[in-house]
Amino acid sequence: MIRRTLACMLTFGLVACATPPSSPPPSPETKTAPPARDDGHKGPAEAAPEAAAAAAPPVDLTPVPFEVARAAFIRNTAARHGLEPDYIASVLDQAQVRQPIIAAMARPAERVKPWNEYRPMFITQARIEGGRKFLAQHRDELMRVQQRTGVPAEVIVAIIGVESSYGANTGSHRVLDALYTLAFYYPRSGDPAKLEREVRRELFFRDELANLFVLARDEKLDITGLKGSYAGAMGMGQFMPSSYLDYAVDGNGDGRRDLFTSYDDVFSSIANYFVKKGGWVRGGQVAVPATLAPGREEFNPTEWAPTWSLDALARRGYQPSAPVQPGATATPVTLEGSTGKQYWLGFQNYYAITRYNISKMYAMSVFQLSQAIAGQELPPA
């Protein structure tokens, strides 16, 4: 989630990354036991903290001097995680505030691109061919993970392709500098309406900075040498420190979770994220194209979980254009295509991809890239 996620954070659009607001309880048309809702925990992408905004507790907006905030961070991190305050302070002494990172975060949001402009940014012939080559090179490891977790190899490869160009671009910023900068110098726009979000973002990065200390200790990593995106995401799958701690897996059994150089660990960790965070269904479909009956109004539920039965969607005019597994529930997806509206039905595994990065277009890009890598013909954008 490097360039893509950064675009998402700045355009919100890696993507239309607007987080769906809380919705009323499901109507009688929906299943009574919907899949797990997003709990606000951070996903690998820098955009993920937006998921918690609606349900987050109040935050104190009173300005805090840097020296006070830094001292409190050292004290609290030491107490919470059993670290020596002097060690934390010594590491922070080596951190540098990076103005380019502040400038990038302060950059005005671009317009949200429609699907026909968005997809070509992530699905190109070079990326498809690169994905096929990558899958062929690591087929044995990927198939072991697929068999163990149920997450298809091509989906894992597509994530790595979108996030880091198959490991070629995992970020050049020192993670310590990135998180330190955003934890204590997150840019302020001066707009009172944006202040709460800006404070929450700063506190999010402060938590990630604390998690970086824990990660370095637990995984025996050089905290001053780690490189990643300008928002602190690391490795081939671009995990933030909290997600690294919560979802990374030791795939090769060497006693470490290495998301930088160990393909076994990377593949297993991405699949584990989909299963544990997204509720991935083994053998389940991701999405199928659909039609909307003429004259019927589009249905765009604010809750993205796929709780709508096919009968309920049919009453709203939606019909799948491909076979659907019996008993499946879905959420309708509308995309602005080059020749007009495109309609899709997204299932639980589509929802799982949105937990990796909170964007319907991101999820569709990953899904369609995975299909192309697997040799299937893509529909027009």
- Contacts for 62 with CB less than 8 Å, ≥ 6 apart: none
Q: Choose among 266, 33, 259, 322: nearest CA to 145.
A: 266
DSSP per-residue letters across 333-352:
EEEEETTEEEEEEE-HHHHH
Active-site position among 154, 163, 198, 303? 163
Residue with tokens 């609290």: 76
Give the containing element (helix H, strand E) for 97: none
Q: What are φ and ψ of residue 219, in 5° steps?
A: -105, 5
The SS3 assignment for 292 reads: strand
| Cα 140 to Cα 264: distance, rounded to the nearest angstrom | 10
Distance CA 316, CA 299 (A): 7
Q: Which residues contact 307 (CB under 8 A, 6 or more apart)?
A: 26, 30, 31, 34, 35, 329, 331
Decide if 161 contacts 372 (C-beta within 8 A).
no
Residue 163 among the catalytic residues:
yes
DSSP class of residue 95 equals -
Give catalytic residue positions. Answer: 163
